[in-house]
Structure 1
Amino acid sequence: MATEVRPTTRFQPPDWFTSNYTISTNAERQRDASHQTRQESRFLRNETDNQTKWDQHSNNVRLADRADHIRQWKEILEKTLADLDKEISDLSDAKQLTEQSLQAKDLPTDVAIECLTLREGRQAIDVVEDEPENQLHKEVEVIDGIKKQLHNKISEAFEQLCLLQEARQQIQADLQDKNIALGIDIDQYNLSETSPNISYKPDPLRVPKGSTTPQQWEDFSRYNKERADAEMKASTRLREAIHHTLQQTDNDLEAQRLATEYAFRKRIHEFERAKDELEWQKKNTEEEIEELENDIRGIEEAIRAKINPMKLAQTRLENRTYRPNVELCRDAPQYGLVDEVKQLEASKRALEEKLKQAKHALDGLEANLHRINDDLSLKNNSLMLDNRCMNVRERLQTKPMTSLERNLTLTGIERERSKVLA
């Protein structure tokens, strides 16, 4: 009986072993890949959880720091605002005091004009332009000048008050913005994953129009504070100037009777100072001329000292031009000698230019010394004349003798009284 074989594909034993090996290997590879994927997913899950946790922590710290920074600037601005309010009040008081002082100057003006009007009643030879009239006219001029100064100070105070108010408005607006921003950042700091009012937003990564950098934010507040400080300093200086002006104007009105003697003493003092200054300048100028002449001689000697080095360098260059054929090479000595010649020429030119400047300075010193000598002779003559004037004016300080004293001196009774007392 014949055996019948089914018509199927027949594989060889090596194919069978290969198939088994392939299946086993693929299974192990897939298990390894699955294991690797599981390990990577666990690692990634841990990493993302940690990253999320630390990102939230870092942003919480940033929000806290930002709130502290805003709070610091808020305290600074609040103190600045309080200082501005105080300075505005002080400047307003100073302005009011100046207005009162200006109003009080009407009485001295009326008195001076009345005195001038009364003195117009003089007749004939008595109608002279004497010292009282000059002093009265000067008093009117002084009062008018005082009024002008006070008007200027009032105008400056008004302008400074406007600047202070403007700086205060900026500080106040910045402070209001700081309060709003501080409240928003504190609210964001208090949010958490379990907060009820958190949700997805349509475009959270957008940059809002008008956003600024932290440096711009800080510069803005610093500018407002510095401007407020500058305006307060200006206001303080203005208040000091106002008080100084008020005191100075009172002193000016009080010191009219001593104006002439004071002017003479002041002028003599100025002449003495000018004379001493000229003598000191003359001495220093003469010493400087002597030093400059020595330096000129030194510069001339330095110029002469460059002649032989120049001759030496040029001679070396010239002699090296006679090297034959290929030996005529631009080697290091060639470049060095060329640089030496150029350097010597530059040195000589610099010395000659400096010599020219020194001679020009010497001419200027000698001309200035001549001017100093001429001016010194003028100052000596003027000082002598002013001293003679003051010696003549010393008679004004002598108390005139009364009629009784003149009679006692003529009769000799005063001499007898002196002997008795002795």
Structure 2
Amino acid sequence: MAAPLTTFAEDDKCTKVCNDIGAFKKAAKSPEKASEEVKAAELAKAQPDGRGAPPETQDPPDNRPVPSGVEHLPSLKPAADGKVDWTPLGAMTGTRPAVNKYSISRYSLNEWRNHNEHILDPEVINESNIVDYNAKTSMMQAFGNIDKQQSENNKRLKQKARDIFRWKVEVEKACKGITEEVETLEIERQRLKGATRVLMLPEAISKECLDLRSNRFEPDLVADAAEQELIKEMNLVGEVRANLMTTLDNIEAQMAINKAAKHKIEYDWCDKTMAYNAEATNLSLNPKSNTIMFRPGATKFGDNTAPLEYWEFFCRETVQNCETARQKSADLRGSLNAILVSGGRKLRNQADRTDMALAETVAITSELCTKLEETLLNTLQRIVDMEALIDNLRQSVQKMDAAMKLAQTRLDNRNNWRPHGESVRDQPHVGLIDEVRKIHETVTSLLGQLRNAERIREDLMKKRIELEKAIASKRKTLNIDRERCGMVRSHYPSASELAGF
């Protein structure tokens, strides 16, 4: 495949004009000299005696007698009217002498001489020489002018081809730049769409964590720091998504502009290539080419022909518009990278704050759960102690029954079995009565203590139930925050993934 024509030879390879052969052979006389000779011949005819004629143009003297026009020809006779007419009109008027059958004479001697002079007249020969000289000179001038015109047009075509090639290179460079920009912007657009899809994961994680934490028991359904950070994370994801969608719309609009500029610059490049090939083809043609032919109407300008200034303006405007679109696209790509990196960093920082809040909540809940478990152990121990105390109190009350029975039996025996005067209020009897009273007071006190112990045991049982519920709630909260939320948040994307990498 031949290399494209980029430079042109400066030397003119057109065939030199020949002056010695064919139609280019130079005449022996110049046109001025030939004209002077023709004028001298005309003057010589007008003045037969040679007066006033230039010496170089005078003909040699003619010694022949001048014909009188009435020479005697014995074989010729006058016409019927007695007149003789030797003019050509005589045959028409009947005045020409009749020709007998023995003679071939028909014209007069003067007519014969005039006829010979007419035949030998060099005017046509001279005129042919002049015409030949003029024709050869015209052909030489014509071919010289044509060669000069072709040389100038070749130079113009070369310059035009150089201009077209220069703009073709500029357009090709701009086309390559906008093509690379379209491809790069498409990669960035896919990256942005990937980052938009990745945002679904943080949003799902935050929503899942909020849903899981909503399943906590009622005492732990509080708007703690972790809850607030999760809500902030949800809002931040929404803001970043809105920003990315706006940027995606801008990129798609810029992509349409880039593709339009690319289509226009490619169309212009095709036009430049076709025009350059046409100029190269024209430069390769010469008068001996086999492909040249008559083209009627070739001298007319086309319907879409524009001035040269418009062509320059159009070429410059196309390249500038393409470069402007490419620069805007590059600026948009730069802002896109900043937006993606900033959004990913914000989400990652918010995720870290949320993880820290969850860790603090888990630590506090775990500590509280430990304290509740310790309290539950103490409560259970107190319940055991209370039950033992209640048993002791009941046993003590039962033991008081025997003492009460003993004292009452003694009093009853003293009241019933002492006869008349022996039934006195002596010290033993008073002591037994005091003993019964004290035993009764003691039993009453023990029963009061027993009731208090039973009440405390009931309170401790309720406390135990509350502690067990609180511990179960805290354990469920710990399971949600530490196990389930921790497992879900372990899949949170990194900053590079959030930036679309």
More helix by share: 1
Q: TM-score, normalised by structure 2?
A: 0.42
Q: TM-score, normalised by structure 1?
A: 0.49
* Structure with the greater alpha carbon radius of gyration: 2
